[in-house]
Structure 1
Amino acid sequence: MSTEGFFISEIRLTGKNKRNASIVLKKGLNVISGASDTGKTYIFQLINYMFGGKDEPKEIDESIGYSTIFIELEKYEGESYTLKREIGDSSIFVYESKIDDISFLQNCVKLKAKHDKDDKDNISTFLLSLTGIKDMLLRKNARGTKVSFSFRNLVALMMLNEEKIISEEVPIFSGIPSNRTTELSAFKTILTGVDDSHGEEIEDPKIYRTRLEGKLEFVSSLLQKLKMELKEKGAQIQDYDANELTKEIEKLMSTLSNNSKEINLRMGQKKEIWIQEQEIKSRILMLEELLERFRLLEKSYLSDLDRLQFLIEGDHYISQLFDSNCPVCNNPFNSKITEHNHDFYLEDLQIACSEESNKINAQLIDLRETLTNLQNENKENNEKVKLLSQQIKEIEVIIQRELKPVAVLTKERMDNLLNIKKIFQEIELNERRIAEYQTSQLDIMRELSKKNQKMKFVNEITTEIYDDFATEVKELLDGWNYPDLTSVSIDYDDQELIVSGKKRKNHGKGYRAILNAAFVIAIMKYTRSIGLKHPGLIILDSPLTTYKERLNPTTLSSSEEDISLDMKQAFFKNLSKLRNDVQVIIFENIDPIKEVQDNMNYIHFSKVIGVGRYGFIPVDNVSESVSNNFIQ
């Protein structure tokens, strides 16, 4: 079973130099009875005002001088809160304590009295949080516009004043046509636990029509522009056939591909020849360096031969010297002295020089042969380089004069044809877009010709839920000894109760009051039984006494309006058996019998000075058993 929700534990009215007016309430059934003009309806108005009502409690003579309202709420789970509001103020203060525990320095939260979905600091959001409801949305109108679920939507299902209790309107409706969709949505949300946050929504007809007209103008402008473009592009391709164009492009692409392959082939050949040329040039450089070295070696050989030849021919020159000395032993050269002081003799020198000269001559012959070979190779290599250079030039000529011009011309032709083909594609695309825009244009025009669109909502309350709810109503009426009760059902279209085959609104005021009371109490019992969200609080003003009876209690009304005393007492007795997870507060002129009073929280206003409690607000100079604690 759900324990969410709250009940009222005390209502207190204070004013400067005024005794506190207070009543203490409990879980279960609370009956405040007594004569008219004792403040019962005033208490009802105080509660409604503290629950975010915009109407201040109607001023009565006894209320003059009172300015501050306190309501102590207690969650069924245990926490206590006190609401405080100055009459005429748009703010409500919330204390996390009981009324008597409020201290001067205690922190409190200031809340706006009016619900605001964009600002959570309001009494509606706070009370909804105590009920376990958060961020629910309701349908506002036939277009599916959403509004935030407010605690005032719940108040309409849990508080019936003395006018609403006898109204011909189903209790969930206020009678204001513009509010009917929202009120039905709130009823559905409470009975099913599912709000309308995921429902579709149609925008305002005027805004919708203006948007459609703007869209039509935009689409028409696009159509005109596309048709002009289509005409211009058609003139550009009038000399071309799309199929022939495709064939020619394919042919040019093949030519360009072959040309590219030929150029790549020639470039490959050129690269191979260039590599050979570079290798031969490298060889030529190496050979020229060798030739230069060998020529230097040849000069060295020739110089050595000249020196040796000079030594060989030295005897001839020495013999012509008369007073010369031997360069070795310094003895004079003459015929008389034939011995010298050394082992060296000119004849040996001549022989050695001849042998060395012969050896150098042999090396010189080899060297000159090598030089000749290298020069010949170098000459051949230079010829090869010239040949290879010529081949490279010939390849470059073929590429530059034959292949590249073909490629350039082919590419230019192909680019031109591709541009023409692109125009064909753009024309095809524009034709499709024109067809789409024309379809869209017709759709918009048809939409504009329609009447204002309305959402067709399916009632999400299933027949099973309706039947279970009707069963709760019937159980209450059975417990209240409702006469000739045979069946209870709900009209799915107008949410009307049908009791024993007769619609609720077709009964007299007395029975309508009973049926309206049963309707709202059944909502609470049904939601509590299956764990749905509900404050667990019902407040009824005069469900057993019609306005006519209150004006003239000695005059009985017609039989249709007259509720038997047995039924009235059965009403009290049945509700006195309510569970402790709900609270029902009833303001009545009729007193429950003594044996039933013991099973409820019963408060009686006598309207007789000196007899019990006169009324809600203390009468001056009269001692009454009421709480006189002042709130600082």
Structure 2
Amino acid sequence: MTIKLEKLVSASKIKSDVTIIFDINRTLILGPSDTGKSYIRDCLWYLLGGNDIPRNIPESKSYDTLFLQINYNNKIYTIKRSLKNKSLTELYQANISNIDEKNRINQDIGSFLVECSGAKDKIILRSKSENGPINGSDLRHWFLLSQPGMISKDPTYGTPTERTQRKASFYTFLTGLDDSDMVLDQSEKEKTKIRTSLDLINKRLITLKENLPDDFNQEEVNNSLIKLDRTLDELSHARNAKTQELKNIRIDLSKVITLLNENQSKLIYAEAMLSRLKLLNQKYENDLDRLNTIDSSLAIFNNLEPQACVLCGSISNKYNEQLSELDIIKQRNAIAVESKKIKLLKQGLLDSIKIEEEIVEYHTRQVKELDERLIFIRKQEEDVLSSKDDEISFDIKELALKRTEYSLLLNTNREIQKLVKEHDNFKSLIKAKSPPINRELGVEFENINILIRSILHSWGFSYIESIQLDIMECDIQIDGRDRLSYGAGLRSIFLAALAIGFLSYSIDNSHPNLGFLIIDSPLKAYGEAKNSSDVTVPVKTVKNSFYEWLSNWKGNGQLIVLENEPVNENIYAQLKPIQFTGTLGLGRYGFYPK
């Protein structure tokens, strides 16, 4: 199950769409420079998840959308991507003319390609300290070869930052094996984190050890702390007992003061009442004395004889006329009644006075007793407050400070022990540097060397005796010589042979692969070689052999070749290339019309 490219379309709202139809086995797009061949490769790279929008050329000005129709597992899919906004990328399960929201697939293009390639569950190294799944960029790197890449003197795996990941994906595509069992190094971030933690622990340990005496003995300090705690408990118990005793005394004191205040209040009230009663009794005495005096006066007055006036000698009967004897009797009777009433009231008052005197006497006695009790309790309080128990012969503040000192020493020692363990744990996390990654191919992979050599023989390089795939460099040696040591033309041809053999071998063995290969200008540099030592086989022979071989290609995988070099008329009809003329009015000018 591999991907086959079927159709590339660039669409415009004001111009006719431009289309490239791909043959199921091989497609040659032929034409001079600046007709859009490399632009086609850039469009395919972009449609297959690349980040860079194809460069803006004058002919593409009115075109805004790219479409790529592909066949995977006999199902048709279309990738749609804007030429103006790379975030507008859509995937449909339908051909280009039938796409709509109903058949849209909500999946990232990169993950879709990985799934189609059979690499979905493959884990590869991205660096010596990180791994992850194969992604779309790995597939594009190895199966979409650019013109600059074909002649480059740089390693096939790309930049140093990509090296580990590209080598790992190359190995997986070739062998079907991944790096899931590979032991990872620690990342620089992890190492820095561990080193920082160790530095902090060491600094903290130095500080703590400075605060710990040289002669510190944990057992001795611990025993001293136990004894000190016992002493403080005893002191606390004694103090609590004294506090409780004082509390009880003050409770009694409070009760006595309350009773004393109550009795004093009642005594004052009783004395005031007694005083008022005695005043009333004195009033009754005075009233009786007055009534007795009046009664005696009336009795005397009634018995007096008329007397002559000492001045004039006349005798008056006026008083006798006003007060008859009957009147005097009535008045004396009234006085007697009033006196009797007062005597009765006085008798009741005397009973009340007696009761109040008893109350005053009782409260006077109570106040005296409570005063004596109050004096006694206050003396008790003074004695307790001023007492110094023989057992409490220590300065509690000093003991408390000593206890704090012992506790700090023990806590410091515990923290040191804890930090030492943490230090050992962090140190154990530092992994020994893993040995260099060494990927080897067994004898069973000799077939790929044979396959690449046979391809080169078909292209006219029959002098080549051996091809050796260098799995660590993702490249080949030709008769013991590194490919990169050759001139640009041979570098390009040899890389094309490697890429085709790589794809064919991967498909043959059901290893992950993209299913197609795009090669931009494999022959151009060889045809333009200026140094005769870089042309080991005549250019014409190589061109004719390459095109004849390509016309007969029905091997594994779909080949798409973009090339400048013209095709022999005898092969042209069989190869049926897509021809760009680069000339107005003569055939198809280029990818875009002029």
Alignment partner of 2:38 out of 20, 37, 42: 42
Of 226, 241, 249, the match for 2:232: 249
Q: Is 2:594 aligned against 1:622?
A: no
**Cα separation, 2, equivalents of 1:403 and 1:28:** 113
Unaligned runs of 5+ in 1: 14-19, 58-62, 85-91, 98-124, 325-330, 460-469, 484-490, 498-504, 528-535, 576-583, 606-612
- What whole-Å deviation, never above 9, does each CA across 1:397-443 have from its counterpart, x for those lacking one? 32233246548994973343233222222222222233344556677
Could you tell me how far apart the structure 1 residues matched to 2:9 and 2:511 are?
23
Query: Which residue of structure 2 lines up, in the alignment, with residue 155 of structure 1?
Result: 140
- Structure 1 residue 24 corresponds to structure 2 residue 6: no
After the TM superposition, which residues 258-337 of structure 1 pair with which residues of structure 2 at under 5 Å, given as runs?
A: 258-319=241-302, 320=304, 322=306, 332-334=318-320
Cα distance change of structure 1 residues 358 and 275 upon mapping to structure 2, 3 Å threshold? same
Distance 1:567 1:346, change over 3 A: same
Structure 1 438/194 Cα, relative in aligned 2: closer, same or farther at 3 Å? closer
For residue 413 of structure 2, what is the amino acid of its counterpart? Answer: E
Q: How does 1:462-541 map to 2 (within 5 A)?
A: 512-518=498-504, 540-541=518-519
For 2:143 and 2:305, the matched residues in 1 are separated by 163
Change (3 A) 1:388 1:21: same
* SS of alignment partner, residue 313 of structure 1: helix
Structure 2: distance between partners of 1:56 and 1:140: 29
Letter in 2 for 1:141: S
Query: Is 2:338 aligned against 1:366?
Result: no
Partner of 1:427: 409
CA contact (8 A) 1:153 1:183 kept: yes
Q: Distance in 2 between matches of 1:314 and 1:6?
A: 161
Letter paired with 1:287: A
Q: Which amino acid aligns with 1:300?
A: K
2:165 corresponds in structure 1 to: 182
CA change 1:43–1:30 in 2 (3 A) is: farther
Is 1:604 matched up with 2:578?
Answer: yes
Is the contact between residue 11 and residue 72 of structure 1 (CA under 8 Å) also seen in structure 2? yes
CA contact (8 A) 2:547 2:571 kept: no
Q: Residues 10 and 17 of structure 2 are in contact (CA less than 8 Å); yes or no, is this contact kept in structure 1? A: yes
Q: How many residues were matched structurally?
A: 486
> What is the root-mean-square deviation in Å for CA atoms of aligned residues?
6.4
How many Å separate the matches in 2 of 1:380 and 1:243?
61
Structure 2 matches for 1:82-481, cutoff 5 A? 82-83=82-83, 140-144=126-130, 152-153=137-138, 155-161=140-146, 174=157, 176=159, 178-183=161-166, 202-203=187-188, 211=196, 214-215=199-200, 218-219=203-204, 221-228=206-213, 241-319=224-302, 320=304, 322=306, 332-334=318-320, 345-403=327-385, 405-406=387-388, 410=392, 413-438=395-420, 453=433
**1:72–1:82 Cα contact (<8 Å) kept:** yes
Q: Tell me which amino acid in the other structure corresponds to 2:578.
A: H
SS of equivalent residue, structure 2 residue 395? helix
- In the alignment, the residues of structure 2 paired with residue 69 and residue 180 of structure 1 have an alpha-carbon distance, to the nearest angstrom, of 39
Alignment partners' CA distance in 2, 1:248 and 1:379:
56
Deviation track 1:287-319 (CA, whole Å, cap 9, x = no partner) reads: 134224323422432343233223312324534
| Secondary structure, aligned partner of 2:212 | helix
Q: Is the 8 A contact 1:74 1:80 kept in 2?
A: yes
Q: Could you tell me the percent identity over the aligned residues? A: 13
How far apart are 1:360 and its partner, in Å?
1.7
CA contact (8 A) 1:323 1:332 kept: no
Distance in 2 of aligned mates of 1:144 and 1:408: 74
Q: Distance in 2 between matches of 1:2 and 1:307?
A: 149
- Give the CA deviation at 1:222: 1.1
Q: Kindly state the Cα deviation for residue 276 of structure 1 after the two structures are TM-superposed.
A: 1.9
Aligned residues of 2:43 and 2:54 also touching (Cα < 8 A): no
Task: Please give the per-residue CA displacement for 1:57-81, whole angstroms capped at 9, x wherever unaligned.
Answer: 9xxxxx9x87969673237777844
SS in 2 for 1:25: strand
The structural deviation recorded for 1:42 is 2.7
Question: Secondary structure at the residue paired with 2:188?
Answer: coil
CA contact (8 A) 2:9 2:67 kept: no
- TM-score, normalization by structure 1: 0.56
Displacement of 1:258: 1.7
Q: CA deviation at 1:241?
A: 4.3
1:540 Cα shift?
0.8
Q: Supply the distance in 1 between the matched residues of 2:41 and 2:526 (Cα, whole angstroms).
A: 21
Deviation at 1:255, TM superposition (A): 1.3
Q: Does the Cα contact within 8 Å between 1:9 and 1:73 map onto a contact in 2?
A: yes
TM superposition shift of 1:132: 11
Conserved 8 A contact 1:10-1:23:
yes
Are 2:45 and 1:72 equivalent residues in the alignment?
A: no
2:120 is aligned to none
- Whole-angstrom distance in 1 between the partners of 2:472 and 2:428: 31
259-268 or 293-302, which moves further after superposition?
293-302
**Offset of residue 494 of structure 1:** 6.8
Between the aligned partners of 1:95 and 1:145, the Cα distance in structure 2 is 29
SS of equivalent residue, structure 2 residue 266: helix
Aligned to 1:9: 8
Cα 1:434–1:24 shift into 2, 3 Å: same
SS at match of 1:227: coil
Q: CA offsets per residue over residues 258-288 of structure 1, 9 Å max, x none?
A: 2122122212222222232232123223313
Once the two structures are TM-superposed, the CA of residue 355 in structure 1 deviates from its matched residue by 3.6
Alpha-carbon spacing, 1:628–1:402, altered in 2? closer, same or farther (3 Å): closer
The answer on whether the counterparts of 2:291 and 2:339 sit within 8 Å (CA) in structure 1 is: yes
Superposed displacement of residue 225, structure 1:
2.4
| Secondary structure of 1:345's aligned partner | helix
- Match of 1:569? 553
On the 8 A contact 1:249/1:417 being kept in 2, the answer is: yes
Structure 1 165/250 Cα, relative in aligned 2: closer, same or farther at 3 Å? Answer: same
How far, CA to CA, are the matches of 1:433 and 1:176 in structure 2? 49
The farther-off stretch of 312-321 and 246-255 is 312-321
Closer, same or farther: CA 526–189 of 1 in aligned 2, 3 Å: closer
Amino acid at match of 1:541: I
Tell me if the contact between 1:521 and 1:538 (Cα under 8 Å) persists in the aligned partners.
no
SS in 2 for 1:359: helix
Tell me, yes or no, if the aligned pair for 2:520 and 2:562 is still in contact at 8 Å.
Answer: yes
Letter in 2 for 1:253: S
Q: Displacement, 1:174? A: 0.8
